[in-house]
């Protein structure tokens, strides 16, 4: 979806986009390598690095930066919302209120209370924080800058 935003904006004028981010370090450490294996060579424009964790972090960087850049370039003001998955898990009422206000709900605070009860955080949200320091000592400047840009450093 991140890669398709410029196309979708062209097909659906007035489109609004909710960009849900998850900490790139946690995404990189995931055992789910589907996107990396299927699209990695194309989007990384190189042979895949031997370290799949760093390769996944690079892919996360490219995808999220592309989506953010496309949103700024192609979407009208007020049609782009960035949310952190971690905020949804740790502060569900506040995050859902923001989301509902963005989509034009007439009673976002009241609805958020009800919807927040349905949030079931992943067991791994924030659970790998201790691993981050060790696993990412070799971060390149682009990945480090992207993590900071999206609020993860």
> What is this structure's pTM?
0.82
- Give the pLDDT of residue 62: 87
Q: Is the model's pLDDT at 111 over the cut of 80? A: yes
- Give the pLDDT of residue 151: 93
- Binned at pLDDT 50, 70 and 90, residue 58 comes out as confident
Q: Is the model's pLDDT at 118 over the cut of 60? A: yes
- Give the pLDDT of residue 68: 94
Query: Is residue 29 assigned to a domain?
Result: yes
In the chain, the largest separation of any two C-alpha atoms, in whole Å, equals 50
Q: How many domains does the chain have?
A: 1
Q: Residue 139 belongs to what domain range?
A: 2-84+132-149
- Give the pLDDT of residue 133: 57
CA distance 46 to 73: 27
Query: Is residue 136 assigned to a domain?
Result: yes
């Amino acid at each position: 979806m991140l890669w398709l935003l410029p196309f979708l904006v062209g097909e659906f004028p007035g489109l609004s986009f909710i960009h849900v981010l998850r900490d790139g370090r946690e995404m990189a450490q995931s055992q789910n390598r589907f996107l990396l294996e299927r699209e990695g060579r194309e989007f990384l424009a190189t042979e895949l690095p031997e370290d799949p964790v760093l390769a996944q972090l690079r892919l996360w960087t490219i995808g999220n930066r592309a989506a953010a850049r496309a949103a700024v370039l192609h979407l009208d003001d007020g049609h782009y919302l960035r949310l952190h998955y971690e905020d949804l898990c740790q502060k569900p009422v506040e995050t859902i209120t923001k989301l509902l206000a963005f989509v034009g709900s007439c009673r976002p605070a009241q609805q958020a209370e009800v919807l927040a009860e349905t949030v079931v955080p992943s067991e791994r949200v924030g659970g790998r924080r201790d691993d981050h320091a060790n696993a990412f000592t070799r971060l390149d400047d682009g990945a480090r800058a992207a993590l900071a840009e999206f609020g993860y450093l």
